[in-house]
Amino acid sequence: MRHRSALQIVSFVMFVLCGLGAFASAVAAGGPLTLDLRERLETLSGHEVLPVIVVLKEAPGLRAMAGDLDTAALSRAQDALLRAVRGSVPRYRYTRIPALAMDVSRVDIQTLSGLASVARIEYDAPVHAFMDTAAQWSGVTAARQMYGLDGEGVTVAVIDTGIDAGHAAFGDRVTAFCDLVGDDTGASAYDDNGHGTHCAGIIAGAGDENGANAGIAPAAELVGVKVLDSRGSGSMSTVIAGIEWCIERKQELGIDIISLSLGSTGSSDGTDATCLAANAAVSAGIVTVVAAGNSGPASSTIGSPGAAEEVITVGAMGDPGEGGFFLADFSSRGPTADQRVKPDIAAPGVNIMAPLANSPAGYIAHSGTSMATPFVAGTAALLLQGDPALTPQGMKAVLAANAQFWGPAGNDNEVGAGRLDGLQTISKTMDGYPAPPLEGAPYHLGVTDTLSGWNWFASATDKRDEWTFDVYDTSQPIAVTLIIEAWHPILLVFPSHDYNLSLLDPDGTEVASSAKWSSRQETVTFAPTVIGTYTIRVDARKGSGAYTLDVSALTSNLALIGG
């Protein structure tokens, strides 16, 4: 996932990436091999082996009861499969989904694909790892103060690169640790990369000696599950093993929530093994929060396990401390490969300050949906402290029902239900009615319109829309986001559309502009110094069609009027 250092020392990507690029879930007609595996087989020599995940069909007797696999029947089915490919030793025999992970040859794959018990064979793709103003303007700070919530009594499992339990932000609240990379389940908690520590701190860090940069639920307990190595790399099979480890220890360790800031690129239909495992965690009663990914702003960029139907999939937004509320351009978008709406919600994920691993008390800022995901997981911990009876399904529903509307009407594939509103969500959960609006927060309006675009006969005004809005207070920044709905690449390089965005102050002077040639999204932010009427210009340089415009500003009766 994408991260940006506050010290600008290094910029690197930490969201889990699939080595092939697109993680295709489609299975060829008449065969169980997924597209990515077929592509790998084309270059596989006769003696080489490939890591795969084999998913079994749920034959009669395999599922003993709704939501639970008959482990004895599953073990027999796995044994029968292994007998068909003698000599292959499984790396993982799963117990919560009908699958196992193993290394197999081309001949083995041919044998497996002919078995009636096999539903699909997936390539075990390699993966890599994908605060104060954010908490304030999402309403979380006010809700904590209003209801005395801090996450106490709630346990969150962070499946990632580990947790540096020695950081001052965690005290003694890292209560358990599993190292699936070093195969040492008794290891002391550690993090040789830093990604997991940063995510854990957003959830439950206590902050520095003055309480600054505290996590969302600073009294919650943490369980670290290390599935990624020092480079932030791992495999989908290990991620599944980490999820199953949490499910099997839910009662023993009191695991209430799983936070997964990792996943594949491309577009998943939610039926792959990793999505099945994430859904199994929800079925086991664990709130499961997953990063959407950092492959935006293009459509259909949510991979696995973000495409899992039952999980809470999180996109990333900026907050007023970062120039206003705006959808981060890197945040992955839906729909899923089977055309479902994802993500489910968006949360702060731009320049989020959290603990720096392997430093006694250091902090660093990173950006990405990896940061937005633990933000939602921490909010879920506050909600569970306030209402322990909330089910995973109830949690997902209450977060969506109280999100601040963003974009066009209804759930959409940019931000799902909208922007996380911690204050209203917690207030309605605790009291059954909304809290007063957060004082000083910017207003928002989203509109949709069309432009005719460039042609030989179009005048400048034919290619331009103008919108105006009034700013009555300069204490909050202005953020304007333009998304071109039908944008797509042509021949993988050339954009189908090119719309430019600019902001003019009350004197008609351009104060901000964005003119990316090959992007589906343009965003401008500006700190106003004078009140008055501001103008937004949308200019079509190429293509035609619909666009959405989102404005965040401190206004009275915000209204956009077509020019």
In tens, the pLDDT along 362-390 reads 999 999 999 999 999 999 999 999 999 99
Q: 42 CB contacts (<8 Å, ≥6 apart)?
A: none
**540: which DSSP letter?**
E
Task: Please say if the pLDDT value at position 65 is more than 70.
Answer: no
State the Cα–Cα distance between residues 263 and 282, nearest whole angstrom.
Answer: 17
Task: Please say if the pLDDT value at position 29 is more than 50.
Answer: no
When pLDDT is averaged across residues 83-112 and rounded to a whole number, the result is 92
Please list the residues that pair with 143 across neighbouring strands: none
Q: Which fold has domain 128-431?
A: Rossmann fold (3.40.50)
State the Cα–Cα distance between residues 487 and 544, nearest whole angstrom.
Answer: 10
**HSE (CB half, 13 Å, CA atoms) of 331?**
33
Contact (Cβ atoms closer than 8 angstroms) between residue 268 and residue 25:
yes
* Beta pairing class for 11-13 and 2-4: antiparallel
Question: How does the average pLDDT of the chain come out, rounded?
Answer: 88
Three-class DSSP category at 510: strand
Residue 23 has a pLDDT of 34
Residue 455 has a pLDDT of 55
Residue 209 has a pLDDT of 87
Cα angle: 65, vertex 67, 71; to 5 degrees: 65
State the Cα–Cα distance between residues 338 and 534, nearest whole angstrom.
Answer: 41
Could you tell me if residue 324 is left (phi over 0), alpha (psi between -120 and 50 degrees) or otherwise beta? left
pLDDT tens digits for range 308-333: 999 999 999 999 989 999 999 999 99
Contact (Cβ atoms closer than 8 angstroms) between residue 148 and residue 213:
no
Q: What is the pTM of this model?
A: 0.90
Residue 543 has a pLDDT of 81
User: Encoding tokens for residue 108?
Assistant: 């083995």
When pLDDT is averaged across residues 201-224 and rounded to a whole number, the result is 96
Three-class DSSP category at 422: helix
* H helix or E strand, kind and range, residue 533: strand 532-542
289-309 burial: b if 16+ Cβ within 10 Å, else e: bbbbbbbbbebbbbbbbbbbb
User: Encoding tokens for residue 56?
Assistant: 């079994």
Task: Please say if the pLDDT value at position 33 is more than 50.
Answer: yes
Bigger pLDDT: 290 vs 67: 290
Smallest CA-to-CA distance from 242 within 261, 220, 216, 217 is with: 261
pLDDT tens digits for range 446-500: 888 888 765 544 555 558 889 999 999 999 999 999 998 877 776 666 777 888 9
Whole-number percent of the chain with pLDDT over 90: 68
* Beta pairing class for 287-291 and 255-260: parallel
Region of poorest pLDDT, from 341-355, 393-407, 431-445: 431-445
DSSP code per residue over 376-394: HHHHHHHHHHH-TT--HHH
Task: Please say if the pLDDT value at position 4 is more than 50.
Answer: no
Region of poorest pLDDT, from 100-109, 160-169, 287-296, 551-560: 551-560
**HSE (CB half, 13 Å, CA atoms) of 321?**
15
Contact (Cβ atoms closer than 8 angstroms) between residue 379 and residue 144:
no
State the Cα–Cα distance between residues 484 and 520, nearest whole angstrom.
Answer: 5
Bigger pLDDT: 105 vs 377: 377
Q: What is the CA radius of gyration of the chain?
A: 24
When pLDDT is averaged across residues 199-216 and rounded to a whole number, the result is 95
Contact (Cβ atoms closer than 8 angstroms) between residue 454 and residue 500:
no
Bigger pLDDT: 55 vs 61: 55
Cα angle: 369, vertex 371, 376; to 5 degrees: 90
Please list the residues that pair with 483 across neighbouring strands: 521, 548
**446: which DSSP letter?**
E
The full set of domain ranges for the chain reads 35-124, 128-431, 443-553
At 543, which amino acid appears? G
Angle between helix 422-431 and 369-386 (nearest 10):
20
* CATH classification code of 443-553: 2.60.120.380
Residue 27 has a pLDDT of 43
Whole-number percent of the chain with pLDDT over 70: 87
Residue 461 has a pLDDT of 52
User: Encoding tokens for residue 74?
Assistant: 């599953």
Out of 3.40.50.720, 3.30.70.80, 3.40.50.9100, 3.40.50.970, the CATH code matching 35-124 is: 3.30.70.80
Residue 504 has a pLDDT of 97
State the Cα–Cα distance between residues 31 and 230, nearest whole angstrom.
Answer: 37
Cα 147 to Cα 138, 218, 385, 420, 557, distances in angstroms: 16, 14, 10, 18, 31
Task: Please say if the pLDDT value at position 63 is more than 50.
Answer: yes
Task: Please say if the pLDDT value at position 111 is more than 90.
Answer: yes
Q: How confident is the model at residue 211 (pLDDT cuts 50, 70, 90)?
A: confident
User: Encoding tokens for residue 80?
Assistant: 């029968």
Q: 491 CB contacts (<8 Å, ≥6 apart)?
A: none
Residue 19 has a pLDDT of 33
pLDDT tens digits for range 151-188: 999 999 999 999 999 999 999 999 999 999 987 767 79
Angle between helix 369-386 and 195-204 (nearest 10):
30
At 147, which amino acid appears? Y
State the Cα–Cα distance between residues 96 and 277, nearest whole angstrom.
Answer: 7
pLDDT tens digits for range 410-456: 789 999 999 999 999 999 999 999 898 888 888 888 888 888 765 54
User: Encoding tokens for residue 30?
Assistant: 């008449």
Please list the residues that pair with 55 across neighbouring strands: 99, 120
Catalytic center residues: 160, 195, 370
26-62 burial: b if 16+ Cβ within 10 Å, else e: ebeeeebbbbbbbebeeeeeeeeebbbbbbbebeeeb
State the Cα–Cα distance between residues 159 and 182, nearest whole angstrom.
Answer: 15
